Structure 1
């Protein structure tokens, strides 16, 4: 069973030498401080224990910063990694994961920390100087078709870096939001705070002959879920992550919750949740319920089940994932109906090429609310 284990306990940081600074990419050293910033071309160059040690030490560390999530992106999505690692006197003290991903509707790329998921720098010690060195190194990683660096912070705590980021040319924009549901108030109050339509959906669904099962994270179960997920995303015109990404998530099975709903004995879809024990949150990253089960309220039943699961396993929030900020959008209204609190997704962008202002201006033509 995928359960929260260990709470907020921080494991001991495993130290590593900086010998890879001379083996991989370019490193920068600050004279007299002992600080070096190195780019590594895969998280595997650093190693699981060393990388996750930084995540465990940082108050802003999340499941999306962890070695296993980054490795799944590298191997399953084949995005080009450009991870920055900070060392001091031979000891690893910070990092910022980055991937090169395409900019929508253009031939150009962006360097993103982090996508998919949420990233940003993890600098638990020597923060001021480490942040300065990391931000100075970023333009060296944006060359050719890569014309902008983007940071997607997980929560409001990343506002602490806003002034430093803007002083280095980063500009915020707000095109996405997330709905966060407070699980600590208990299931009865969560139900009471839902919209009438969400409550009625759950009530009507309870009259259906249904069963919700927590599945093992096996290749077969992931494949079945992915087939339905692919159908649903094709119908709504969304981007589809390949099965190779889901398959590469298996090493982090203890941080995944795969739910299946059966109605009248037939498979009716499911949800793949990402468990963020660092931040005491359950992330609703992937949902797949075919249209033919909408009238049975399969989605409402799954969400209601995972809320109860999160409460029983000690999580504090349920995160519905990113959505646009248009109150007339159906996905926005559906998530809003569960009673969660809307919070902005914190994103900063820094142009690293003379082409960036042109691309940004063109982007505003098809995303009029982009700032």
Structure 2
């Protein structure tokens, strides 16, 4: 098994996987390490008839003076990649054996990864820990005719898009550097309004690097009312797939729901450029909630969203969980019983609430 840890190695390896998404790229993983003690790793298995790759962040942690290492994924939808023929049982067995060895050599106690809802390759992880379905996501099939895509829209979405246009609200791909500054301000205000934790707040440098990445294309679309930016979204494009990454709306315009015009504009843009899928994502924390229902109004094509959880060393894992519980109780905080994985990284109940409300945006 090859383990890629620098950009050149990573990019060469990804050439074997023509259907990778931007969540699998080196540039996005580097952005995912900002501000913490983690390093991007791409684990690549080469079989006789297929190749398997799994990107992870190997991160260092500290509990009660004790250091440890575990593996996690970037925010979004990474997960395993497969190229060539469908993996045989022998390939899957060998891949799992080799990644066990590599993670053990790195001292990893547990591993977690969000999985890609469209590139459904979770079978290569079957038997190595557990995969758990957490909710659903929505996508628009851009291979279907424009008429068929519009037909799938919910009637109130169609009416609201028409109302927005009648009120003079416009939406377009941004070509102005100042728009990014406006979007960052909108995004910061949206996170403040939602009570989001620091996990979901990003520096200006993060947004600038996202737009400047060489491994994928990131596009900023903005909606304007009387020349004022009232809504915006960042959308990636990579190997035929458009992903809705981050979005924000001016609080005074929430009732107008300009995101409906935003999504419709991106759909038409993607259609004109030959993209195959526009993935809108899911609900808060990937739940089947109001946000999911809103996105469901654009398409009835849904995908299961799952995560992978694996405990590599049960004894040390249990010790770390006990230390974390002790740490929280000694500081007077409540241990949040949320099914968080790994359990020793469970946030306090106060911190968890803000993150839960916006995760899976």
Query: TM bucket by the smaller chain?
Result: 0.7 to 0.9
> Which position in structure 2 is the counterpart of 1:68?
27
Using a 3 Å threshold, how does the CA distance of structure 1 residues 86 and 315 change in structure 2: closer, same or farther? closer
> Which position in structure 1 is the counterpart of 2:276?
316
C-alpha contact (below 8 Å) 1:73/1:79 kept by paired residues: no
Aligned residues: 312
> Which position in structure 2 is the counterpart of 1:233?
191
Q: Report the Cα distance in structure 2 between the residues aligned to 1:167 and 1:211, rounded to whole angstroms.
A: 50
Shift of 1:201: 1.4
> Which position in structure 2 is the counterpart of 1:140?
105
| TM alignment of 1:104-115, pairs within 5 A | 110-112=70-72, 114-115=73-74
Structure 1 residues 57-89: Cα deviation after superposition (integer angstroms, max 9, x where no partner):
214422222222223334x4545114145488x
C-alpha contact (below 8 Å) 1:96/1:121 kept by paired residues: yes
Structure 1 residues 256-306: Cα deviation after superposition (integer angstroms, max 9, x where no partner):
111111102222121110112x2x111011111122112333111111111
| TM alignment of 1:87-166, pairs within 5 A | 95-100=53-58, 110-112=70-72, 114-122=73-81, 124=83, 128=91, 129-143=94-108, 147-155=109-117, 157-159=119-121, 161-162=122-123, 164-166=124-126
> Which position in structure 2 is the counterpart of 1:303?
263
| TM alignment of 1:34-45, pairs within 5 A | 36-38=1-3, 40=5, 43-44=6-7
C-alpha contact (below 8 Å) 1:186/1:311 kept by paired residues: no
2:213 is matched with which residue: 252, 266, 280?
252
Using a 3 Å threshold, how does the CA distance of structure 1 residues 123 and 325 change in structure 2: closer, same or farther? closer
Q: Report the Cα distance in structure 2 between the residues aligned to 1:233 and 1:340, rounded to whole angstroms.
A: 28
Q: Report the Cα distance in structure 2 between the residues aligned to 1:319 and 1:223, rounded to whole angstroms.
A: 25
Q: Report the Cα distance in structure 2 between the residues aligned to 1:37 and 1:355, rounded to whole angstroms.
A: 27
Q: Report the Cα distance in structure 2 between the residues aligned to 1:69 and 1:325, rounded to whole angstroms.
A: 21
Structure 2: segments with no counterpart, 5+ residues = 326-334, 343-361
**What SS does the corresponding residue of 1:118 show, helix, strand or coil?**
coil
**What SS does the corresponding residue of 2:256 show, helix, strand or coil?**
coil
Q: Report the Cα distance in structure 2 between the residues aligned to 1:318 and 1:194, rounded to whole angstroms.
A: 14
C-alpha contact (below 8 Å) 2:221/2:233 kept by paired residues: yes
Cα-Cα RMSD: 3.6
Shift of 1:190: 2.1
Using a 3 Å threshold, how does the CA distance of structure 1 residues 109 and 77 change in structure 2: closer, same or farther? same
Q: TM-score, normalized by length of structure 1?
A: 0.72
Using a 3 Å threshold, how does the CA distance of structure 1 residues 343 and 215 change in structure 2: closer, same or farther? same
**What SS does the corresponding residue of 1:200 show, helix, strand or coil?**
helix
Shift of 1:231: 0.7
Using a 3 Å threshold, how does the CA distance of structure 1 residues 333 and 193 change in structure 2: closer, same or farther? same
C-alpha contact (below 8 Å) 1:272/1:285 kept by paired residues: yes
> Which position in structure 2 is the counterpart of 1:366?
338
